[in-house]
Structure 1
Amino acid sequence: MDKATYDKGMEIRRATLGDAYVDKAIDGMSDFTRELQELVTTYCWGEVWGREGLDRKTRSTINIAMIASLNRQHELAAHVRGAINNGLTPDEIKEILLQVGIYCGVPAMVDSFRTARAVLEEMEAI
């Protein structure tokens, strides 16, 4: 693991998902999951999110679309929160989820709206 890339990844991960979410993930590490957390932080957040080709708002847009399409609601909740932190509005998130419904299926869209609404209400963003 490259320490500089890990540190960069941790900074981006915390800025996007929030300290409480990241602390919970890190505090819950075990010997079994330590390498998973290091890999996610280094490669997802440091290498990919840390690239200059797209801004964080665009990356959040893409992530919401992909995660909603895959119907991975736990991850979607984290990334809805991150999308708000990265500058998306609730209306933009709504439009992304509507697009998902047309191209990836109504069940994925409906579940994703439920998840996004709960997160946005909790954040008092809507």
Structure 2
Amino acid sequence: MSKPPVPSPRDRLRSFAPKLIDLTDNVLFGDVWERSGLSKRDRSLITCAALVALGRTEQQRGHFARAITNGVKKDELIELITHLAFYSGWPTAMSAANVAKEVLEEGDKK
């Protein structure tokens, strides 16, 4: 028997913080991510770098997966994390590496 679909993080918050999710859907992903000034791949690299540097592990999961979908290679994501170890600190890089490992292993299973 297959498992029921797991609601996305946004769907889990939709009834609790509807305006926040509306802004996320329509402004962040509907406008900012669709601007032509940067490719989605570049936006993903920038976003992942910021999330690693800030230690935002909860947000890394979704954005690491999005980065792969947007054309960032596994080795590039690992290199981004390794590079940032020297700028954002070893603990942020180690935490991000653990998240990336989980995300990439889950992607390999699909």
| Range into which the TM-score falls when normalised by the shorter chain | 0.7 to 0.9
Any stretches of 5+ residues in structure 1 without a counterpart? 1-19
TM-score by length of 2: 0.87
2:33 to 49, 73, 78: 49
Q: How far did residue 28 of structure 1 move?
A: 4.5
Q: Note the aligned Cα RMSD (angstroms).
A: 1.7
Partner SS, residue 46 of structure 1? coil
| Structure 2 residue aligned with 1:10 | none
Could you list the per-position Cα deviations for residues 20-39 of structure 1 after superposition, in whole angstroms to 9, with x for gaps in the alignment? 78x53236421x41101001
TM-score by length of 1: 0.76
- Equivalent residue letter for 1:47: D
- Equivalent residue letter for 2:11: I
2:81 to 85, 97, 113: 97
Partner SS, residue 31 of structure 2? helix
Q: How far did residue 57 of structure 1 move?
A: 0.5
Map 1:1-126 onto structure 2 (within 5 A). Answer: 24=8, 25-26=10-11, 28-30=13-15, 32-124=16-108
- The change in CA–CA distance for 1:113 and 1:36 in structure 2 (over 3 A counts) is same
State the 4+ residue runs in structure 1 displaced beyond 2 angstroms: 23-28
Q: Distance in 2 between matches of 1:27 and 1:106?
A: 32
Matched residue count? 104
Q: Distance in 2 between matches of 1:93 and 1:124?
A: 15
Any stretches of 5+ residues in structure 2 without a counterpart? none
Q: Distance in 2 between matches of 1:28 and 1:46?
A: 18
The structure showing larger relative contact order (alpha-carbon pairs under 8 Å, at least 6 residues apart) is 1
Query: Identity of aligned pairs, percent?
Result: 31
Q: Distance in 2 between matches of 1:46 and 1:29?
A: 16
Partner SS, residue 49 of structure 1? helix
